Copies of this chain bind each other. A is one copy, B any other.
Amino acid sequence: MREVMAYIDAHRDRFVRELIEWVKIPSISDLPEHAPDVLRSAQHLAGEFKRWAPDQVRILPTEGHPAVYAEWLHAPGKPTLLVYGHHDVQPVDPLNEWLSPPFEPEIRDGQLYGRGTVDDKGQVFVHAKAIEAFVQTGAHRLPINLKIIVEGEEEIASCNLGQLLIDHAKLLEADYVCVSDTAMFGRGTPSLCVGLRGLAYFEITVRGPRSDVHSGSFGGAIANPANALARVVASLQNEDGSVAIPGFYDRVRALTSEERKQIAALGHDDAEWLAASGAPLAFGEPGYSTLERLWTRPSLDVCGLTGGFQGPGSKTIIPAVASAKVSCRLVPDQVPSEIARLFEAYVQSIAPRGVQVEVTFVSGAHPYLAPTTHPVFAKAQRAFSRAFGKPTVFIREGGTIPFVRTIADMTGKPCLLMGFGLPDENAHAPNERLMLENFHLGTKSAAYLYDELATLDGGG
């Protein structure tokens, strides 16, 4: 391993330069006009993988954006690891809040700024470069068999991933799965993520008059879609922050006192966490700590509100239509399709008079909890600690990676969530960044992981 580590050290700056070239491609999967960029991003990554798998790289088309697949399978009798990541990125608005343009990556204070640096191009690159380090040194070989799939639709709820996994089931067979798309608990704390929240995303649209009408000529005598929307949205939650939809909590698994103890032992600092976001105070479902709320309790958030006149000044109209985008984060054992039924039924039951209310279930993803007693988790902890020189903790994550639950359900294999981001690196927000130290130590962690897995049984 010494030679592998020396290679990673020696090529540190080049790895960053190469990552920058990839980040420059604005692969925003959510905006149709960026579809060619998502394809370009896939092609760029395929080129990167060809360094160590010249004939085993494929671009896998989907109904939407393409995924990239590569493999190295020359370690007979050794386990096969499937690595997952994504090469698509979030939209960038509000653009004016970025200190440097999102697709012109810039290094400031040891951090690489740019959309996709931490979520998830930088973390995909960790594996690409760890593999390169093995293949370019010593025996020119990896200690295990390795497959990597990098999808192009993670930021749009992996809408074609299920089909992709079915179409390429054989290709994706493996003993273990590793996903690098999460954050560590904090700087210098290697962390394996063992739980993810799921998602149910809705759009509520409220319609009134055919087009916008004068608020003098109609105000007070017809229902206003924007006022009605506010009433509907306000009714989704109770004043204390809990969700008011009947049945919403029915399947939520209660926390054990052991789990609460483990979470409390991590020593989360609310004040520091708040400072990172600028939010004035911690607020949520009563009876739970911040980490418990984020990791083990479902939530409901308006992601966007729109209706009527939004320019400067004071146009006096009743809007024809108003709408809200709403995301619910789900926890075990909530089921997205069931939450969708409850959500839709509730909204219709409270729909104000005089307007038409429409609910669209945009997308869903199941929550995930890892089988942490499986020996692969101890191996992964060891690998992570070898690179960072610190004990590796188990954490959960409030976000959603649809792939994890899907692949876990399909294969029954354990899934390692080994992430190298930090909680304050602005994934999904302006000024997204990646700490270059973590990119470097992450690359080493991935290399150690391959090394550790070689001691486990394989080929099962």
Contact call A222/B315, Cβ cutoff below 8 A: no
Q: Is there an interface contact between B284 and A220, defined as CB atoms closer than 8 Å? A: yes
Q: Which residues of the partner chain B approach A324 to less than 8 Å between Cβ atoms?
A: 226, 230
Q: Chain B contacts of A183 at CB under 8 A?
A: 217
Contact call A301/B227, Cβ cutoff below 8 A:
yes
Q: Does any Cβ of B come within 8 Å of A302's Cβ? A: yes
Interface-located stretch among A44-52, A135-143, A395-403, A407-415: A395-403
CB distance from A434 to the nearest CB of B (A): 15
> If the complex has contacts A303-B316, A314-B303, A316-B199, are A208 and B430 also in contact, measured as CB distance less than 8 A?
no
Query: Complex Cα distance A240/B285, Å?
Result: 30
How long is the Cα–Cα vector from A226 to B233 in the complex, in angstroms? Answer: 9
* In the complex, chain A residues 319-370 whose Cβ is within 8 Å of any chain B Cβ: 319-320, 322, 324-325, 327, 329, 352-356, 362-363
Chain-B contact segment, one of A68-76, A91-99, A100-108, A380-388: A91-99
- Contact stretch, chosen from A5-13, A171-179, A271-279, A445-453: A271-279
29 pairs, A vs B, C-beta closer than 8 Å: A31-B313, A90-B315, A91-B309, A93-B311, A213-B428, A214-B399, A214-B429, A215-B327, A217-B294, A217-B397, A217-B428, A219-B294, A220-B301, A222-B284, A224-B301, A227-B234, A230-B234, A231-B237, A231-B239, A280-B354, A283-B353, A301-B318, A302-B307, A302-B308, A302-B322, A303-B317, A305-B319, A306-B306, A314-B325
Contact A429 B299 (CB under 8 A): no
Give the interface centre of A226, A235, A300 by most chain B CB atoms within 10 Å.
A226
Q: Is the Cβ of B217 less than 8 Å from the Cβ of A156?
A: no
Interface mask (A260-295 → B, CB under 8 Å = 1, otherwise 0):
000000000000001001111111110000100110
Give A207's nearest chain B residue, CB to CB: B280
Contact between chains at B301 and A219 (CB < 8 Å): yes
A223 at interface, CB cutoff 8 A: yes
Is A399's CB under 8 angstroms from B310's CB?
A: no
A46 to B284, CA, bound (A): 61
- Count residues of chain A with CB under 8 A from any CB of chain B: 104
- A223 pairs with B91, CB closer than 8 A: no
Indicate whether A304 sits within 8 Å of B310 (C-beta atoms), given known contacts A94-B211, A316-B327: yes
Copies in the assembly, this chain: 2
B398 touches A217 (CB 8 A): yes
Does A221 lie at the interface of the complex (its beta carbon under 8 Å from any beta carbon of B)? yes
Within 8 Å by CB of A201, from B314, B352, B399, lies: B314
Most chain B CB within a 10 A radius of its CB, from A283, A324, A327: A283
A45: min CB distance to chain B, Å:
23
Q: Which residues of chain B are near A313, meaning CB under 8 Å?
A: 30-31, 91, 156
Q: Does A216 contact B (CB under 8 A)?
A: yes
A334 to chain B minimum Cβ distance, whole angstroms, is: 13
Q: How far is the CB of A204 from chain B (nearest CB, A)?
A: 10
B398 x A294 contact (CB < 8 A): no
Q: Which residues of the other chain, B, contact A128 by a CB distance below 8 angstroms?
A: none
Q: Say yes or no: B308 contacts A325, CB within 8 Å.
A: yes
Interface residues of A in 32-54 (CB under 8 A from B): 32
Chain B residues closer than 8 Å to A316, beta-carbon distance: 199, 201, 303, 327, 400, 428
How many angstroms between the C-alpha atoms of A315 and B278 in the bound complex?
20
Residues of B near A230 (CB, < 8 A) are: 229-234, 302, 305, 324
Cβ B319 vs Cβ A309 within 8 A: no
Task: Decide if A459 is an interface residue (CB 8 Å cutoff).
Answer: no
0 or 1 for each of A236-262: is its CB under 8 Å from B? (1 = yes): 110101000000000000000000000
Q: How far is the CB of A180 from chain B (nearest CB, A)?
A: 16
CA distance A452 to B90 in the complex (A): 69
A25 CB, min distance to chain B CBs, angstroms: 19
Complex formed: what's the CA distance from A318 to B326 in Å?
10
A315 to B220, CA, bound (A): 35
Q: Is A437 in contact with chain B by the CB < 8 A criterion?
A: no
A222 in contact with B329 (CB, 8 Å): no
Q: Are A327 and B429 in contact (CB under 8 A)?
A: no
Q: How far is the CA of A222 from the CA of B426 in the complex (A)?
A: 16
What is the CA–CA distance of A428 and B407 in the complex, to the nearest angstrom? 54
Contact A215 B301 (CB under 8 A): yes
